[in-house]
Amino acid sequence: MFAHMDPMLTTNRKMARVLSIKDETPDIKRITLRTNRHWSAFKAGQYATFKVMIDGVFLERCYSLVSPPNSEVIEIAVKRQPYGRVSNWMHHQLEVGDTIEMADVAGEFVLPQTTPDSLLFIAGGSGVTPIFSLLVEAITRQSNVDATVIYYANSKEDLAFGKEFDKLAEKHPSVTVHYALAEDGDAGSFSIEQLAALCNDYSDRETYLCGPPGLMSVVSKVWEAQNITPRLNKEVFGLPAIESDVPANKMPIMLRRSQQELLNSKPSLLESAEAAGARPAHGCRIGMCKTCSCTKVSGVVRDLVTGEIDDQPNTQIRICVSEPLSAVVLDI
């Protein structure tokens, strides 16, 4: 009832009120928010889930928190995706004073308890957000931390946090920041030669990588080839995509609550789970009674009755009439 007077007064939900919205680059906005009393602490590099209602439907998206953990307000940087429902909504509909519901903070993309001797940060596009947080955190812990940043972006005006990076590099001589811009041709794309030139001791450094899938995969290959993968920390972002190159019967299905992993061996998720020995609740098996409805935590599925494809996190699906189109995690 308090929530009817002011959504921030809700008795149990995490809510945040928008304090400011500023343009950072042509397609990235920085949004600061004040959270209500249900908000809990987080670590630099982690992300928060935001639940926004668009046209009657709650959609969830994760955004890295770019404000330091001890700050009174939180800040996120949102890149507008061409067809992104939530990012477009945040860019065009969200206004100062609005409240947004939030879910838990999560993420393993954090600095270890003891700050490593030397660090390398590789960021691409909007993947810079957790990287920026981690750099600030590393400097806060140890102002002469040995850190190198390589930041890939399309053009100079697409650099988010550019001014902050420059200032940090200026103030802390031990911090080096390199920008690699696509508008400059070859210099803007990752190669092992470029890496060796910018940071020749990369194999000795604890490395943090966040960027688009292409960058993530080429960088990972270099670390794999050198057998130093354990030193590479990665953060993936964005919605899952249909994995058309994976054969249907090899699609992994994870039942989260029962901690069971299985493969998509049958036409529907329910039958696959049963074939693997799991016993999910079910009823009519024709997609009508919803006894088998459960939360699909992540992954892309197709409804076998309607043909509808669902790639959103945390939605309700009927497993008796759903087939996976990517790796799927179910809350069963």
Partner 1 sequence: MDVKSKSRQLNEEEITAFGLELDEIRKEVMESLGKKEADYIYRVRNFVRYTEIVGRSSLMLGWLPPFWVAGSAILGVSKIVENMELGHNVMHGQYDWMNDPTLRGSTYEWDTVCTADNWRHTHNFMHHTYTNVLEMDHDIGYGALRLFPEQEWSPRYLANPIIATFLALTFEWTLALQSLELEKLITGEKSFAEIREELKPIAKKMRKQFAKDYLFFPLLAGPMFIPVITGNLMAGVIRNLWTFGIIFCGHFTEDAETFPKEIIENESRGQWYLRQLRGSSNLVGGRMFDFLTGNLSHQIEHHMFPDVPGVRYAELSEKVQDICVRYGQNYNTGSFKKQFSTVVGRIFKYALPFGKKAKQKKSAEIVSVNIPQKSINLDKNAA
Say if residues 302 and 282 touch (Cβ distance below 8 Å).
Answer: no
180 is a site residue for partner 1 (CB under 8 A): no
> At its nearest, how many Å lie between partner 1 and the CB of residue 48?
17
> At its nearest, how many Å lie between partner 1 and the CB of residue 84?
17
> At its nearest, how many Å lie between partner 1 and the CB of residue 316?
4
Residue 128 or 332 having the CB closest to partner 1: 332
> At its nearest, how many Å lie between partner 1 and the CB of residue 7?
13
Which of 187, 196, 290, 309 binds partner 1 (CB under 8 A)? It is: 290
Residue 58 or 144 having the CB closest to partner 1: 58
Count the alpha carbons within 13 Å of 210 in the hemisphere toward its beta carbon: 26
Residue 56 or 173 having the CB closest to partner 1: 56
Q: Which of residues 239-268 bind partner 1 (CB under 8 A)?
A: none
283 is a site residue for partner 1 (CB under 8 A): yes
Print the binding letters for residues 13-52 with partner 1: x by CB under 8 A, - otherwise.
Answer: --------------------------------------x-
> At its nearest, how many Å lie between partner 1 and the CB of residue 149?
37
CA distance 252 to 16: 36
Residue 13 or 34 having the CB closest to partner 1: 13
Q: Which stretch binds partner 1 (CB under 8 A): 16-24, 148-156, 271-279, 291-299?
A: 291-299
5 is a site residue for partner 1 (CB under 8 A): no
Residue 73 or 289 having the CB closest to partner 1: 289
Print the binding letters for residues 50-79 with partner 1: x by CB under 8 A, - otherwise.
Answer: -x-x-xxxxxx-------------------
Q: Which stretch binds partner 1 (CB under 8 A): 89-97, 231-239, 247-255, 290-298?
A: 290-298
Residue 4 or 37 having the CB closest to partner 1: 4
Say if residues 125 and 210 touch (Cβ distance below 8 Å).
Answer: no
Print the binding letters for residues 295-314 with partner 1: x by CB under 8 A, - otherwise.
Answer: -----------x-----x-x
CA–CA–CA angle 282, 286, 288 (5° rounding) = 80
Q: Which of 69, 28, 128, 60 is nearest to 298 (CA)?
A: 60
Which of 293, 297, 304, 311 binds partner 1 (CB under 8 A)? It is: 293
Residue 103 or 228 having the CB closest to partner 1: 103
Q: What is the torsional sign of CA 23, 27, 30, 31? A: positive
Binding stretches for partner 1 (CB under 8 A): 1, 4, 51, 53, 55-60, 283-284, 286, 288-291, 293-294, 306, 312, 314-316
